[in-house]
Amino acid sequence: MKDALQLREAVYAVFLSEDTERLYPHDAFQCVHKVAKQARARQVLSETDAGYRWLPLLTEPADLAGLFAEAAAELIMRRYDRRLIRECKGDNCGWLFLDTSKSGRRIWCSEATCGTHERVKRFRKSESKRLAGLTVEHNAAQLEKCIRGALNSCEPTTC
Ligand SMILES: [Zn+2]
């Protein structure tokens, strides 16, 4: 379990470095490399519908970590043939994603979650500013109306 957590942290560190366009952190990269290499050594040459293929051997819990490391290694090998992996810019999210959007400017892991939260947050902020402005303007307009009314009638008025 400890090894699986270490691998998870290493994979996260490796791909997080792409968000800032840095080189992969050495220790994290070595961890992914080591586990992927061990998994490759356990592959079995097997006949499939698509012909003979190297397939993973899944007999121990550690083999699942090997699959994860191999998938990470595949992404690492395609680094220069794909867009960089990005970190979601949503509050308290931290998810990593591969931007497959047309524009390549995606900033949230999901439009439905972090994207919506961010837009709601922005809307509430702008709305509270607008309402604060309206209150001051509204009070000023109301005061002006009372003063004009008082001056025109020359009688005491209530606002
Ligand atoms: Zn997110």
Which of 43-47, 61-65, 83-87 is the least confident region? 61-65
Q: Which tens digit of pLDDT belongs to each residue from 31-44?
A: 999 999 999 999 99
Question: Bigger pLDDT: 151 or 111?
Answer: 111
Q: What is the mean pLDDT of residues 54-82?
A: 93
105 CA to centre of ligand 1 in angstroms: 14
Does the pTM surpass 0.75? The reply is no
Which residue reads 């308290």 in tokens?
92
Fold of 2-104: Jann2411-like fold (1.10.3300)
Q: Which tens digit of pLDDT belongs to each residue from 98-136?
A: 998 898 899 999 989 999 988 888 888 888 887 777 666
Check residue 94 and give left, alpha or beta (phi > 0: left; psi -120 to 50: alpha).
left
Q: How far apart are CA 95 and CA 40, in angstroms?
A: 27
Which residue reads 């470095």 in tokens?
17
pLDDT of 132 reads 78
106 CA to centre of ligand 1 in angstroms: 11
111 CA to centre of ligand 1 in angstroms: 8
CA torsion through residues 50, 56, 61, 65, sign: negative
pLDDT of 153 reads 67
pLDDT of 78 reads 95
Q: What is the mean pLDDT of residues 2-25?
A: 94
Q: How far apart are CA 33 and CA 18, in angstroms?
A: 17
Q: How far apart are CA 94 and CA 115, in angstroms?
A: 13
